[in-house]
Amino acid sequence: MRPNRPRERVMDIRPIKTESDYEKALARIAKLMGAKLNSPEGDELGVLSTLVDAYESQHFPIEPADPVDAILFRMEQEGLERKDLEPYLGSRQRVSEILNRRRALSLDMIRRLHEGLKIPLENLIGRAA
């Protein structure tokens, strides 16, 4: 006689093609959270997470931040005022023009903001027009 062992659930994983498939995958991932690595449940969690990530990348892409929004966010994080941007952008007038979106950032401004305030380049470059 064979000892009673719990039956392992066979993964029933399919591509995520619809919103319904996506919701089902998210529900299953919620149930599998905390699964041990290298266990059948852990493997299923890993595969489902990869599928969900691919679906989200295709259907819910994250647009790069607007450059001015990125600057304002960093100012808020660091407790900076407009005058603190003058070394990176130029005069008080230039800072105002940039923050009010009347003037675009120059390449030199982008470099100075990136190096001085550590704002990621991709955020300062922004989306293509």
Which tens digit of pLDDT belongs to each residue from 70-91? 999 999 999 999 999 999 999 9
Same domain, 85 and 106: yes
CATH code, domain with 81 = 1.10.260.40
Predicted TM-score of the model (pTM): 0.55
| Number of C-beta neighbours around residue 114 at 10 A | 17
Mean per-residue pLDDT over the chain, rounded: 89
pLDDT at 10 over 70: no
Same domain, 53 and 72: no
Q: Is 87 domain-assigned?
A: yes
Residue, of 13 and 55, whose pLDDT is higher: 55
123 and 65 in contact (C-beta within 8 Å)? yes
Domain holding 110, by residue range, is 67-125
Q: Is 5 domain-assigned?
A: no
Same domain, 43 and 76: no
Report phi then psi at 2, rounded to 5: -85, 145
Would you say the C-alpha torsion 92, 127, 56, 23 has a positive or negative sign?
Answer: positive
Q: How far apart are CA 52 and CA 50, in angstroms?
A: 5
- Structural domains of the chain, count: 2
Structure tokens given for 97: 């023009």
How confident is residue 7, by pLDDT bands cut at 50, 70 and 90? low
Of 39, 59, 79, at which residue does a domain stop? Answer: 59
Same domain, 112 and 73: yes
Give the pLDDT confidence score for residue 109 in this predicted structure.
Answer: 96
Q: How far apart are CA 104 and CA 125, in angstroms?
A: 10
Of 59, 90, 113, at which residue does a domain stop? Answer: 59
How confident is residue 13, by pLDDT bands cut at 50, 70 and 90? confident
